[in-house]
Amino acid sequence: MSTTYDGQSLGEALRRHGLIAILRARADAPLVDAVRALAEGGVRLVEITVPTPGSLAAVRALAGEFGDRLWIGTGTVTTVDEVRATAKAGGRFVVSPHTDPEVIGAAREAGLGAFPGAMTPTEILAAWRAGATAVKLFPATRLGPSYVAEVRAPLPDVPLVPTGGVTTADVAAYRAAGAVAVGVGSPLLGDALAGGPLGALRERAAEFVRLAGEDAA
């Protein structure tokens, strides 16, 4: 499984684009159409959570359609079996709400990027030492950009991706604080997965992409 995007590593793609779009739904949703709209808005990294109905089928379809033009991965990955299923579907990274060295190791073995979730400096460093591509700082909404800056002071080499409640008002501040990227779900997706207009999703995507690139870490 390739881990390059236009000649870049996944880590380099994170730094360049600064944004991961997160698709999460409890019922059947137009996942493929929504990702197409996100891509048209400039989004280049997309996470579809495993519990979302049809998630792996969507990953498979999108991987076939976009190839190296888009990084497609899965989220809420908590088991080795889910890592392997992601790889089989053509996904290129996995995101977890927690840090599990076994899951990280399975991702590395499969040639996938791994973004484990962590909150404290101890958890962040453990995730990094276990082989994370970057560490998902979660839940970011309770921490804020100042926390990113404070953690990066003693841990400057660990790429952090704040996730959870990140809005357009927060993106530039997180990037300026040193976050390699931000993970954004409902503030970006809005009602698009419940039948909302994809044109509006495309416009929101373009705005998030613009903000994520303004104050690159």
Residue 47 annotated as catalytic:
yes
Tokens standing for residue 124: 């962040």
Tokens standing for residue 108: 């590395």
CA 192 – CA 177 distance, rounded (Å): 30
211's CB contacts (< 8 A; 6+ apart) are 168, 171, 172, 175
Alpha carbon 42 to its chain centroid, in Å, reads 15
Tokens standing for residue 63: 């991987």
Residue 136 annotated as catalytic:
yes
Q: Which of 182, 152, 179 is nearest to 166 (CA)?
A: 182
State the catalytic residue, choosing from 136, 150, 203, 207: 136
State the catalytic residue, choosing from 12, 40, 47, 88: 47
CA 19 – CA 104 distance, rounded (Å): 21
Q: Assess contact for 71 and 50: CB atoms under 8 A.
A: no
The 10 Å Cβ neighbour count of residue 69 is: 10
CA dihedral of residues 72, 77, 79, 82 (deg, nearest 10): -30
Q: Assess contact for 62 and 70: CB atoms under 8 A.
A: yes
For the annotated catalytic residues, the residue numbers are 47, 136
